[in-house]
Structure 1
Amino acid sequence: MTRPTSSETPDLGDLVMRVARTLRRRGAEAMAPWEIAPHHARALKVISRHEGLRLGELAAHLRVAPRSVTDVVDALESRGLLAREPDPGDRRATVLVLTASGRQLMQEIGQARRADADTYFARLSATDRADLERILRTLDTAG
């Protein structure tokens, strides 16, 4: 077996992307029992954090075109996971709220994903996990 040359050795950005792809794949696998697509779960997560969003606001949080989010909301509403309700500040508009089923699903998915992440990161020492978390939070806040 030959060693990779320096041009074949992944740089830090490549390594981060590899880990991110692995976590994304594992997260999708962890959500499989609930038969929910990752982009649907992301929408539910945003709504759970910012309940009462309008469709355009959800699109902005997800960084997608407003027309794209309509299909996602329709699918989640048809499953009984969220509801459109009149906006208390403007009765002509609607806001998105999770149903009890949506909140329950978010709890279950969250537990499954956290358990999977704990398993994935268990190969690191507690100190390394704390350092990685600190570093990632620093990078995340830097934008």
Structure 2
Amino acid sequence: MDGAGENTEQLAALLDGIVRRQRRASREGLGDTVTHGQFRVLRTLGAADQPLRLSELAAKLGIVPRSATSVVDDLESAGLVARQPDPHDRRATLVTLTPAGTQILTTLRQNRREAMATQLTRLTPDEQSTLIHLLERLAED
């Protein structure tokens, strides 16, 4: 494998490891209460300024509506989201966070921030700025 290929593999492995560590830290103290997919749904609903139709939620997550329905079913059973009829379309259902869902989301975000802050203490402020700049470049579409 050439140098560029080795760099690619090393970067992929390092980024995967960081992401896994962040996911584990996010769930700390919550056990297996919420999967990563469920966290994505909670985060998407939390970022919305109003309840979302299941089809809108699926589109925002980049998944098929049937998959969104399955995840919402599990979250609803756990009391973390609630469904309600769409007042503008009797065929549609809206999904919103419950207070328990909001609390879990807040805890997950706080755990994730704390874990990242701990990791970032290994870097100087200049290194942190450089890392942000480089990650922003990689994240560009």
Instruction: Give me the TM-score of the superposition, normalised by structure 2.
Output: 0.84
Gaps of 5+ in 1: none
Gaps of 5+ in 2: none
Q: Which position in structure 2 is the counterpart of 1:94?
A: 93
Matched, 1:121 2:116: no
Deviations 1:83-107 (A, max 9, x none): 1112233232111100001111111
Q: Which position in structure 2 is the counterpart of 1:37?
A: 35
Matched, 1:28 2:27: no
Per mean C-alpha deviation after superposition, the further-off stretch among 126-135 and 101-110 is: 126-135
Matched, 1:62 2:68: no
> C-alpha separation between the residues in 2 aligned to 1:53 and 1:15?
39
Deviation of residue 29 (structure 1)? 1.6
Deviation of residue 33 (structure 1)? 2.5
> C-alpha separation between the residues in 2 aligned to 1:95 and 1:55?
6
Q: Which position in structure 1 is the counterpart of 2:81?
A: 82
Following TM superposition, the consecutive aligned residue runs of length 4 or more in structure 1 with deviations greater than 6 angstroms are none
1:17 and 1:89, CA in 2 relative to 1: closer, same or farther beyond 3 A? Answer: farther
> C-alpha separation between the residues in 2 aligned to 1:55 and 1:62?
11
The residue type equivalent to 2:53 in the other structure is R
Matched, 1:19 2:18: no
Matched, 1:137 2:140: no
| 8 Å CA contact retained: 1:55, 1:66 | yes
Instruction: Give me the TM-score of the superposition, normalised by structure 1.
Output: 0.83
* Coordinate RMSD, CA, aligned: 2.1
Deviation of residue 57 (structure 1)? 1.7
Deviation of residue 27 (structure 1)? 2.5
> C-alpha separation between the residues in 2 aligned to 1:52 and 1:137?
30
Deviation of residue 22 (structure 1)? 1.5
| 8 Å CA contact retained: 1:28, 1:37 | no
Give the % identical residues.
35
Q: How many residues are aligned here?
A: 137
More relative contact order in 1 or in 2 (CA 8 Å, sep 6+)? 2
